[in-house]
Amino acid sequence: MAATVHDPVEADDDVLHHSATGLSNEKIAMWAFLASDCLLFGALISTYILYRGRSVVGPYPHGVYDIPYTSVSSFVLLMSSLTMVLALSAIQRNDQRRLRIWLLTTALLGTVFIGGQVYEFTSFVRMGLKIHTNLFGSSFFVLTGFHGTHVFIGVLMLMSLFSLSLKGKLPQEKAQTVELVGLYWHFVDVIWILIFTLVYLIPS
Amino acid sequence: MTDTATSHEVEPHTHDERAHPSDAQYVAVALVLGAITAVEVGVYYITAIPKHLLTTMLIVMSAVKFSAVVLWFMHLRFDSRLFRRLFVTGLVLAFAVFLIFLSSLHFYSPSRH
Amino acid sequence: MTEPIAYGQTPPLTARRSLLRRPTSTAGLWGWITTVDHKRIGIMYGVSAFVFFLLGGIEALLLRLQLGGPNQHVLSASAYNQVFTMHGTTMIFLVIMPMAAAFANYLVPIMIGARDVAFPRLNAFGFWTFLAGGLFMYSSFLLGGAPNGGWFGYVPQTLKAYSPGHNIDFWVFGLQILGIASLTGAINLIVTIINMRAPGMSFMRMPIFVWMSLVAQFLLLFALPVITVALFLLMFDRQFGGHFFDAQAGADPLLWQHLFWIFGHPEVYILILPAMGIVSEVLPVYARKPLFGYAVKVFSGIAIGFMGWGVWAHHMFATGLGPVAISAFGLSTMFIAVPTGVKIFNWLGTLWGGKLRITTPFLFAVGFVAMFTIGGLSGVTHAVVPADTQQTDTYYIVAHFHYVMFGGSIFGLFAGVYYWAPKVTGKMLSDFLGKIHFWLMLVGFNLTFGPMHILGLQGQPRRIYTYPAGRGWEFWNLVSTIGAFTIAASIVVFIVNVIRTKISDQPNVGADPWDARTLEWTIPSPPPEYNFAEEPLVTARDELWHRKYDEDGDGRAIRRELDYPVVMDEVPDEVHVHMPSPSYWPLVASFTLPAVAYGMIYRAWPVAIAAGVVEITALYSWALEPSTAPPDPDEGTEDHGPELDSGEPAAAELETADAD
Ligand SMILES: [Cu+2]
């Protein structure tokens, strides 16, 4: 019965798949990393949700959140996903000029978002909310700070791509590099979509 | 998160990227995303909506936005199913594990104001 | 019937690699330091892990000396806490995990017919980061005291208020660094296995070790971020006054335990699956039969991988989770025993009716099956919640997980060491000394950990540094201590064996000394840097076996009469395969991480910031480093995507001298 395990007939259909999957190593790696990051943000967001409404001293969320302000910065980050995908579309058409415009726009929108976050953090601190104030302060700053760090790394990568493109080192064949940075960038955006709803909008 | 079953069968094992959306389609997706965001913020201010309904609406809307970005901007709709499987595995695992985790701690019950 | 394939007979295939060898590089010590060769990295993983194994073993002996009798004074209470914490942390993170990484790094690419991993420099980074993290954690012994909160680091014990020294900080940052190493390693191996398989190497033809490594790497991929977050929260509590685990501020004291065990239970399978894979490779070779129920084996491995995510709270039955949660987790824990039991029957089925060759690797593999079964059975008793409530925090638990981790993982890893040593070194370890090693270790192991079942049921708690006389614990504790030194003696025999073999002038064993089944045995021992002079074409599971043996009507193996060699015993002259170039950026990026951590622990912010700048510089230089061929400055393109080959046909062509 053991002989049936490796029936030679099964050879035929498989030899066809020549170079494993035909996909690029880097792209598989990026998707694996993003899948892994789902659990990272899953743990952070769950911690925030667990501690909603459990702080024993103020300030409390409804006292410090500025929803219109955060809505605008959320919108800015959301639109940076559009400019990112337009940058990818541009390099795929070998349109270097638009590639640069959209890369720079994306990086600028990301910077505006981070700037907005810095402003938000300082205004919270002025209202007496710090990391060691209460559970809300701890879980809010660590979650959004973690996300902000992701955005910051994304901006660094976008600026690197922009400067590569200026030096003419980002030809059409390198479209995948832009695609990979784009995947990362969009992921950071979708995490913010969740944070905006779960942290800011849902009433406690 | 995966699309129709038929596309799975048609899709060969090799590098297969179906035609990417045009820039106009990307802009259209972005407009939808922007519109949903506006609705989200809008319903937040409608005090007449009961709390549970509001929560449900907000979660549905953010899930739609999440899916739109992942499926269109990240091309998951058009790309190899390997990527889809990888990402969906991580996403579903995260969702399931942390839901069980939060449920076991009764995160919904203790004193809140 | 499939035709077997001999070297020189396959049509020349286009190489998937297109990089020139940097002329300066691979010789001498500097060659090892800058290497990106997966085999050298695998060897370095193995050697480092063995050194840590000796350290962790010495710690174990100190613990056993202290507990050998009542009221001993070998260790103070404080020293005991540090030693048991470092023993557990070392054995898990610095021994079993990197040992599994050593085997995976060395073997996975060869077993799937590849020339290297998908990201060679990332591979080097993973190793050096592991080493940096291990050394960083051990440096705590010289800097005021080692971690002392147990390998699980439970809060509130590990909060600043109760552990004011830097001990726990070293644990937190050390594990973070090790986590980075494991995460990069996991991504690298996953991509390698998915995408670097040779033509014909379909998923269901992959050696079972490759499968089990793949499952383990996926578990790492998804489990590591959870402990990363847990450690970050603890870091914020300790360093920046956070309240995540501060019950007075309203925090839930179980948050840490949940996050830790959501990581911790998959971690158990991360530790055991590679050893299971090794045993599944070893048994068929010495039983001269294919693995019984290959597909079942694969799917039970995957099932374990998935179910491993739904059982973590069995580590928390005594914490008051409530009846619903406890019942659910108790049931899921019982269910996970099913795929595990299936695997045990697979191994027995493999042995059944086989022509057994009783060699050292075979003995270790059988030892694995027997000891792991005992550990698995005592594990099922933990799933029974009322029983577990009695067993929690007693020596019964210690007995259980040592039967799984030592009787399981370590026995399996030693089976692998003896089995693949001739492949790695070209020399056979002494079978005689190997058997002495095995029997001493088996007896010592059971003497050490068998009595702990009894001690646990008698109520001896874990993690106590001493105990009074007259509780009926003296005899079995003494037996256990004698057993621990028997294990130590067996390790001495192993070291003697290795040294004797190293200095012996034994002739090269050739490619296939065991009459084995998988691709790594088709190439010279030790393999050349490029592994395969020609990319292999795979036509069957157990490819090499099918090249050597035909089967008669009853499924009996009949050696094929062939007029050409099936394996390549010697490295052929004039094979030019372009391999990735060495690089020192991974090394710089790795060893900068502890500098950041020291800066943060001692609040020397300039140090942390300077190290951070160096880190970013190293990563940039790495990304922009012309990995070899001038037109490709990107790390990405180093790794032979198909698009690159078409761009450089000349460089991509594999130049092989005629094998005849
Ligand atoms: Cu467990």
- Assess B92–C contact: CB distance below 8 Å, yes or no: no
Sign of CA dihedral C223, C226, C232, C236: negative
B91-102 average pLDDT score: 95
Query: What 8-state DSSP symbol labels residue C557?
Result: E
pLDDT at A118: 96
User: Which residues hold their Cβ within 5 A of ligand 1, which is an ion?
Assistant: C 265
Among residues C396, C272, C412, the alpha carbon closest in space to that of C340 is found at C272
Cα separation, A42 vs A101, in Å, equals: 34
**All residues at 6 or more sequence positions from C139 whose CB lies less than 8 Å from its CB, including other chains:** C170, C594
Buried b (16+ CB within 10 A) or exposed e, A9-45: ebbeebeebebbbbbbbbbbbbbbbbbbbbbbbbbbb
Radius of gyration of chain C (CA): 25
- Assess A60–B contact: CB distance below 8 Å, yes or no: yes
Joined together, the tokens standing for residue C110 give 């060869």
Interface of B with C in 23-42 (CB under 8 A): none
Domain ranges of chain B: 21-74, 80-107
Tell me if C164 sits within 8 A of C102, measured CB to CB. no
Helix axes C395-404, C360-383, angle to 10 degrees: 140
User: Phi and psi at residue C655, in whole multiples of 5°?
Assistant: -100, 110
pLDDT at B21: 81
- Which residue bears the tokens 């239970």? C265
Interface size between B and C, measured as CB pairs under 8 A = 24
pLDDT at C625: 72
Helix axes B81-104, C208-240, angle to 10 degrees: 50
**Nearest residue in chain B measured CA to CA from C221:** B90
* Facing A86 at nearest CB: one of B23, B91, B110: B23
pLDDT at A4: 32
Joined together, the tokens standing for residue B62 give 């953010």
- Which chain B residues have a beta carbon less than 8 Å from that of A27? 83
- Which residue bears the tokens 């940097």? C22
- Which chain C residues have a beta carbon less than 8 Å from that of A1? 555
Buried b (16+ CB within 10 A) or exposed e, C147-156: bbbbbbbebb
Q: How far is B110 from chain C (nearest CA, A)?
A: 11
More confident residue, B91 or B49: B91
Judged by DSSP in three states, C621 sits in helix
* Fold of the domain built from segment(s) C307-506: Cytochrome C Oxidase; Chain A (1.20.210)
Cα separation, A96 vs A74, in Å, equals: 28
pLDDT at C571: 82
Buried b (16+ CB within 10 A) or exposed e, A100-124: bbbbbbbbbbbbebbebbeebbeeb
Cα separation, C53 vs C488, in Å, equals: 11
Are the Cβ atoms of C313 and B104 closer than 8 angstroms? yes
Cα separation, A81 vs B65, in Å, equals: 12
Judged by DSSP in three states, C577 sits in coil
Give, rounded to a whole angstrom, the gap between the first and last alpha carbons of chain A. Answer: 63
Query: What 8-state DSSP symbol labels residue A178?
Result: H
- Assess A92–C contact: CB distance below 8 Å, yes or no: no
Joined together, the tokens standing for residue B57 give 């609406």
Question: Residue C585 C-alpha to ligand 1 middle, in angstroms?
Answer: 38
Are the Cβ atoms of B65 and A193 closer than 8 angstroms? yes
Are the Cβ atoms of B41 and A71 closer than 8 angstroms? yes
Residue ranges of chain C with per-residue pLDDT less than 50: 1-23, 629-660
pLDDT at C2: 42
A19-39 average pLDDT score: 91
Joined together, the tokens standing for residue C237 give 């509590």
Domain ranges of chain A: 34-201
Joined together, the tokens standing for residue C102 give 């050593």
Joined together, the tokens standing for residue C58 give 């010495």
* Facing C195 at nearest CB: one of A23, A139, A142: A23
Q: Which of C222, C245, C255, C261 to mutate to test the interface with B (most CBs of B within 10 A)?
A: C222
Judged by average pLDDT, the poorest of A26-30, A165-169, C625-629 is C625-629
Joined together, the tokens standing for residue C551 give 């089967």
Omega before residue C526 within 30° of 0, cis: yes
Domain ranges of chain C: 307-506
Of 1.10.3720.10, 3.40.640.10, 1.10.1040.10, 1.20.120.80, the CATH number of A34-201 is 1.20.120.80
Residue ranges in C471-518 assigned as alpha helix (H): 474-503
Judged by DSSP in three states, B35 sits in helix
User: Phi and psi at residue A121, in whole multiples of 5°?
Assistant: -60, -45
Joined together, the tokens standing for residue C633 give 């400055």
Joined together, the tokens standing for residue C283 give 């048994």
Sign of CA dihedral B56, B70, B5, A24: negative
Q: How confident is the model over B9-34, as pLDDT tens digits?
A: 333 444 444 567 888 899 999 999 99
- Which chain C residues have a beta carbon less than 8 Å from that of A40? 225-226, 228-229
* Facing B70 at nearest CB: one of A21, A74, A190: A190
Are the Cβ atoms of B37 and A82 closer than 8 angstroms? no
Give the CA distances from residue C535 to residues C106, C501, C545, in Å, rounded to whole numbers and listed in that order.
17, 32, 18
Q: How confident is the model over A98-132, as pLDDT tens digits?
A: 999 999 999 999 999 999 999 999 999 999 999 99
Chains that touch A (3 or more CB pairs under 8 A): B, C
SS3 of B42-95: the string is HHHHCCCCCHHHHHHHHHHHHHHHHHHHHHHHCCCCCCCHHHHHHHHHHHHHHH
Are the Cβ atoms of C636 and A33 closer than 8 angstroms? no
> Average pLDDT, whole number, for chain B?
80
The residues with which C551 forms a beta bridge, in sequence order, are C557
Q: How far is C309 from chain B (nearest CA, A)?
A: 7
Give the CA distances from residue A114 to residues A107, A126, A139, C613, in Å, rounded to whole numbers and listed in that order.
10, 18, 18, 20
Cα separation, C104 vs C42, in Å, equals: 8
Judged by DSSP in three states, C559 sits in strand
- Assess A153–C contact: CB distance below 8 Å, yes or no: no
> Average pLDDT, whole number, for chain A?
88
Omega before residue A59 within 30° of 0, cis: yes
Joined together, the tokens standing for residue C408 give 């399981």
**Nearest residue in chain B measured CA to CA from A60:** B113
pLDDT at B19: 64
Q: Which helix (H) or strand (E) holds A105?
A: helix A96-126
Q: Which amino acid is at C593?
A: L
Interface of C with B in 633-652 (CB under 8 A): 642
pLDDT at C220: 97
Question: Residue C78 C-alpha to ligand 1 middle, in angstroms?
Answer: 28
pLDDT at C628: 55
